[in-house]
Structure 1
Amino acid sequence: MDFCPYCGMLLQIEPARSGRKLRLFCPTCPYVCPVENKIVKKHRLVKKEMEPIFSGADAMKFAPKTGTTCPRCHNGEAYFRQMQIRSADEPMTTFYMCCNESCQHEWRDD
């Protein structure tokens, strides 16, 4: 399995024809790669940087609070935010951040 270096699509195999060798091609762009030897290539997955659910101290001034217990420090109050991260027929996911300044542990409730 190999991916196009330009657009990232999964490359497909074009069978050998008369006078032409086996080759890989991209279905969305004009990239073509001839197959000369056995293909052995490993890709490392790159984690994308995610935006934080709770960002900045100023955002905490406006974030709603709820009476939920922090699993780390057992503080009885946490900021919360709800987001729809799965399909519409599934319930919303609630993200929490502990109100304790020294803890600020983040967790979620699906």
Structure 2
Amino acid sequence: MSLAMDFCPNCANLLDIEAASGNQKTRFTCLTCPYVYPIKTKIVREIKLVRKEIEPIFEADDMKYAPKTAATCPKCHNGEAYFRQIQIRSADEPMTTFYRCCNDNCRFDWRED
């Protein structure tokens, strides 16, 4: 039997870890059925996390022709920014506004929900 158990072999529900108390050792328990598995050795699990690749919402030139508005850049405090609005949530939610600083040395992107 594997030591790194996640699911009950009887009913396939997620197992809970019950901490040691008194003379009882730490164990896996099923909250649905009477399944119990005592943990006899230290369980170590290493999981490599893979960063999700994020696609840009706008291409590099998309904001070049966008309209400008009075907005303060959070990075350089310039008072003008390009903006675009996109509906990224459900229709009953407000649109999200994306900004890009007009300062050529900054070009910081931010959004306002």
Query: TM class by shorter-chain length?
Result: 0.5 to 0.7
Q: Is the Cα–Cα contact under 8 Å of residues 53 and 95 in structure 1 kept in the other structure?
A: no
Residues paired across the two proteins, number: 81
Partners of 1:40 and 1:85 in 2: how far apart?
Answer: 40
- The answer to whether the aligner puts 1:104 opposite 2:96 as a matched pair is no
Q: CA deviation at 1:40?
A: 6.5
Tell me the SS of whatever aligns to 2:106.
Answer: coil
Q: Where in structure 2 are the equivalents of 1:51-70 lying within 5 Å?
A: 51-56=55-60, 58-70=61-73
Residue 69 (structure 2) pairs with residue 74 (structure 1): no
In 1, Cα distance between the equivalents of 2:86 and 2:52?
19
Q: TM-score, normalised by structure 2?
A: 0.54
Kindly, what percent of the aligned residue pairs are identical? 64
Structure 2 segments unaligned to the other structure (5+ residues): 1-6, 13-38
What's the TM-score, normalizing by structure 1?
0.55
> Which string of whole-angstrom CA distances, capped at 9 and with x for unpartnered residues, describes residues 3-40 of structure 1?
xxxxxxxxx76639xxxxx9xxxxxxxxxxxxxxx896
Aligned to 2:51: 47
Residue 83 in structure 1 maps to residue 78 in structure 2? no
Aligned to 2:29: none
Residues 63 and 100 in structure 2, CA contact (< 8 A), matched pair in contact too: no
- Give 1:29's aligned residue: none
Q: Distance in 2 between matches of 1:50 and 1:82?
A: 19
Distance (whole Å) between structure 2 residues aligned to residue 95 and residue 68 of structure 1: 11
Using a 3 Å threshold, how does the CA distance of structure 1 residues 43 and 86 change in structure 2: closer, same or farther?
farther
* Secondary structure, counterpart of 1:107 in structure 2: strand
Deviation at 1:43, TM superposition (A): 3.4
Q: Rg: which structure is higher? A: 2
What is the root-mean-square deviation of aligned Cα atoms in Å? 3.1
